[in-house]
Chains A and B, each alone.
Chain A
Amino acid sequence: MNLWQALFMGLLQGATELFPVSSLGHAVLIPSLLKWSFKQSDPSFLPFLVLLHIGTATALLVLYRQEWVALIRGFFSAAFRGQIQTDTERLAMLLLVGTIPAAILGVYLQTRIKSLFASPYAAAAFLVINGALMIGFELLRRRAERRAAVTASSRPEQEEHFAQAERISFRAAAIVGACQALAFLPGISRSGVTIGGGLLAGLRHQEAARFSFLLATPTILGAGIVEVPQLLSSGVPIAEYLAGAVLSGLAAYASARFLLRYFRSGRLDPYGIYCIAAGLVSLALLHFNL
């Protein structure tokens, strides 16, 4: 992989990581469609993607730096006291509960999932499934809005009837966390399934996105700690890869800010339609070898 390819991959990963469109799916599909010579089955490809993910996680840490300081303080206060007294402490414990299922599934499913990375067909198919999931989440949300008889005049007012991230139940946090493991499949979006899970748990769109972004940070950093030593020992051009990671972080920061504003009134449907279209077009291009 040369410098320009590494920078392109960094920009692509950072821009798509937080959007519910599967960055991993794009990172597997696009080099195949562009017929780039580097092999996705190469042992250094997954650690490279993880390095780009660390760029994204760093962007999220910068974006939520004050919140993370409060969350870490809240975690230790509640852990030593054995009692939750504030919303911040509750959110810290929710994030711990949400991270554990993803960590267990990630460690034990990693090998099987790695074998899927070599297949752009699988990534394209999963992208279509991801799109269907996004549209499905929104259909269920609209039904919940009708059941709750939410008849506000504007979308932001409509969203006010739903909860903040701190109010999600511990069971729902664990389920949303477990859904993160689906994102090890290239084509299934981590942020998509966690935002969708948050919506089903009764969160506002913006709060579901916030919970998703907070939940992503320890998971992505954890995966990075595990994979980066392999990258360093595999003799790949580290400088190029680091440049890609920096670009990934910058793109992720910009996309996170955009999405938090978008989800004040926006929904997941446009991303669902995009994923279905992109997946089908990719399948056609791969099948006809265009």
Chain B
Amino acid sequence: MKSTGLAIGLGVLGVVFLIIGVLYAFGVLQIAVSDPHATHHYTHLILFTVLAVACFVAANFARPKGTVYVTDRPRR
């Protein structure tokens, strides 16, 4: 499924995941954490970074590709 809208949506979602990961890392977000007294939640940072990467990859897949021009020049 190729769509510019979908690609943008996935890209935005990736950015949101990155922000959430950073907020967890600095202890600003304390939702569903094993130790609420901890000041850093690096586990969540790793998870949300992986999710963000997956979103960016998916966005690149969803992006409609431009026309590919094939040159008639022979390869050396």
Contact = CB atoms under 8 A, between A and B. Distances in A.
A107 B47 contact: yes
Contact of B51 (A79, A100, A226): A100
Contacts of B63: 82
Nearest to B43: A226
B60 A100 contact: no
Contacts of B75: none
Interface string A78-115: 01111100000000010011011001100110110010
B61 A100 contact: no
A222 B43 CA distance: 9
B47 A96 contact: no
Given A83-B65, A108-B32, A226-B42, A103 B60 contact: no
A107 B50 contact: no
B54 interface: yes
B20 to A, nearest CB: 12
Most buried by A among B54, B56, B63: B54
Given A96-B54, A108-B32, A103 B61 contact: no
A135 B61 CA distance: 39
A81 to B, nearest CB: 8
Given A81-B60, A83-B65, A226-B46, 11 more contacts: A79-B56, A82-B61, A82-B65, A83-B61, A100-B50, A100-B51, A100-B54, A103-B47, A103-B50, A111-B34, A114-B34
B57 interface: yes
B60 A107 contact: no
Interface size grouping (class) on chain B: 10 to 19
Nearest to A79: B57
A238 to B, nearest CB: 21
Contacts of A108: 32
Which interface residue of A82, A96, A110 has the most chain B CB atoms within 10 A?
Answer: A82
Given A107-B43, A111-B34, A80 B54 contact: no
A236 interface: no
A100 B56 CA distance: 14
Question: Which residue among A104, A107, A114 has the maximum number of chain B CB atoms within 10 Å of its CB?
Answer: A107
B46 A225 contact: yes
Contacts of B42: 226
A21 B41 CA distance: 32
Nearest to B47: A107
The 10 closest A-B pairs by CB, nearest first: A82-B60, A111-B34, A79-B57, A226-B43, A107-B47, A82-B61, A108-B32, A103-B47, A107-B43, A110-B34
